[in-house]
Amino acid sequence: MLVTGASRGIGRAVALELGRRGFSLALNFRASADAAEALRAEILDGGGEAFLLPFDVSDRGACRAALEAFVSEHGAFWGVVLNAGITADAPLATLPGEDWDRVLRTNLDGFHHVLAPLVMPMVRLRSGGRIVTLSSYSGLHGNRGQTNYAASKAGLVGASKSLAKELAKRAITVNAVAPGFIETDMLAELGEGVAGQVPLRRIGTAQEVAALVAFLFTDEAGYITGQAIEIDGGLGIGSSG
């Protein structure tokens, strides 16, 4: 099982939850080596199995090289969680072009960079599989100051739905999970008061998102594919999108 962006936030919570459920994990990270090693140690202490797999999802060549080498040594992945993502928020009129580019390269291009080398090995396993991408409330409904982020996360939904149709006959499911306001480092940048915007009047936890992602890897979720599942405390109720 591969989890990208696993060293912190939602990715870390997902990795811990999947490790607790007995999955062998490859923990991808870009720069947070100490945090990734601490996560691996925690999984090992809990009786799980985990490997460190550093690469930058925005770098197509580095992705392919790292993933093909890992698959050659350990075998194909049965499951993938695409979590790695960045923000660079600003109104479109003042958004630097390089900030548009780097958000799209990481959040959306990473879909292709990671999955293109992994899909056919997964198919050849002939045992089905699971792919979950982490989209966002912004990707489904938009958000002021996040045109680049919303575009990348909306693109993930479209890509996930299309790949779900391509892989359904192989019993490989593909779904997007779209969190709203979740307690992460990324949320801290939005400031105080965001909980008041949520119908449930609280911020969600990374563990709640991880539980939803983990459910999509169960046998009970085997008939769910091509969906964008919101986990946002009701934030999207009544929103157009």
Catalytic residues: 149
Task: Give buried/exposed letters for 85-112 (b at 16+ CB in 10 A, else e).
Answer: bbbbbeeeeebeeebbebbbbbbbbbbe
How many residues in the chain? Answer: 241
Q: Is 205 helix (H, G, I), strand (E, B) or coil?
A: coil
DSSP lists the bridge partners of residue 53 as 28
The answer to whether residues 111 and 164 touch, using CB atoms and an 8 Å cutoff, is no
User: In 3-state terms, the chain is what percent helix, strand and coil (to 5)?
Assistant: 50, 15, 35
Report which of 10, 149, 22, 140 is spatially closest to residue 82, judged by C-alpha positions: 10
Per the CB < 8 A criterion, the answer to whether 36 and 7 are in contact is yes
C-alpha distance from residue 31 to each of 35, 54, 130, 179, 221 (Å): 9, 8, 26, 24, 33
Q: Which residue do the tokens 């991808």 mark?
A: 28
The pairing of strands 25-29 and 50-54 is parallel
User: Which residues touch 196 (CB under 8 Å, ≥6 apart)?
Assistant: none
